[in-house]
Amino acid sequence: MTPLIELEEITKNYGSYRALDRVSLQIEPGITSLLGPNGAGKSTLIKVLLGLLRATSGRGRLLEYQLGRHNRQIRERVGYMPEDDCYLSGLSGVESVQFAAQLSRLPGLESLRRAHEILDFCGMGQERYRTVETYSTGMRQKLRFAQALVHDPPLLILDEPTSGLDPAERETMLSRIKILARNHGKAILLCTHILPDVQAVSDAVIILAKSRVRISDRLDRLSQPTAPSLKIHVIDNPEEFAQKLERAGLKARIGALGAITVDGQHAELAVKIWQVANQANIGIRSLEPSRNSLEEIFLSAVREQPDANS
């Protein structure tokens, strides 16, 4: 599958400060999370993608359109949901979405009809007829999401879409994001600090730190530990179980919160573990393949030393 977006050696300088340093990446349909510490260059990257900033050097394209030359066409095909609380004062919810649709070239009546359709998908009911100033944080976020989606763009850039939302609302927002990616083939660039969200929905992860791309890979590949192992939680007495496993010839060690990690290939290992549990009369609460925690991946990526060229 050809990537939807390709950036090659994009650099952006503000005087002597280098905000983006030879950033190259590819984004395919599906959910790509963009992570990085504050000040790493994420918002600069988004502005370059949207054509709001001109890159100092480098090339990029969205579909068949060149960055910097076809900014208008690119913006027609991108839906941007800003992190900041921004709105058009004095308009009601549906009027705001309609206005956004019209700015994206949807014809008059069609834009209103489509605005209603999108607000249905975003779970907004009769409150769409009230002015935006009366909305709560969660509702404003839904509205910004609707505005990003109304013109059916193939690429969505969502900046902290779930921050400030209650857990239930977070889940529904993530569910909508998944539906758009899996069922409608959209590419979604998700910028967030909330690692559990990234874990739950991402196909690919890009980590940006100090203006450079540190990691750009599929999540399932990143999560694979270098050596396969299984992680077990028992009902109680993890130390006893670990000893029994050792005696059965397995390499077991105890980690945080009583989790036992056993090295080895999953399939044969599982059989042995169940046997040991049966013999020792110890109940197993959970058994799953070990995955690298996203937090560890992030911290190690960000703390890498920059190379001599930067």
Tokens of 179: 């539906």
Does residue number 290 form part of the binding site for another protein (CB under 8 A)? no
Q: Which is nearer to another protein, 305 or 309 (CB)?
A: 305
Among candidate residues 59, 81, 113, the one with its CA nearest the CA of residue 190 = 81
Return all residues near 236 (Cβ < 8 A) that are at least 6 apart: none
Which residues does residue 241 pair with via DSSP β-bridges, in sequence order?
A: none
Residue selected from 39, 225, 255, 306 as contacting another protein according to rule CB under 8 A: 39
Does residue number 271 form part of the binding site for another protein (CB under 8 A)? yes
Does residue number 90 form part of the binding site for another protein (CB under 8 A)? yes
Among candidate residues 79, 82, 117, the one with its CA nearest the CA of residue 100 = 79
Residue selected from 121, 129, 255, 310 as contacting another protein according to rule CB under 8 A: 121
Does residue number 138 form part of the binding site for another protein (CB under 8 A)? yes
Least distance to another protein from the beta carbon of 226, Å?
20
The residues in 236-265 that bind another protein, with binding defined as CB under 8 A, are none
Does residue number 117 form part of the binding site for another protein (CB under 8 A)? yes
Residue 45 corresponds to which amino acid? L
Q: State the burial class of residue 233 (Cβ atoms within 10 Å of its Cβ: 0-12, 13-18, 19+).
A: middle
Does residue number 80 form part of the binding site for another protein (CB under 8 A)? yes
Residue selected from 114, 128, 214, 244 as contacting another protein according to rule CB under 8 A: 114
| Contact track, another protein, 206-225, x by CB under 8 A | --------------------
Does residue number 147 form part of the binding site for another protein (CB under 8 A)? yes
Residue selected from 1, 2, 16, 38 as contacting another protein according to rule CB under 8 A: 38
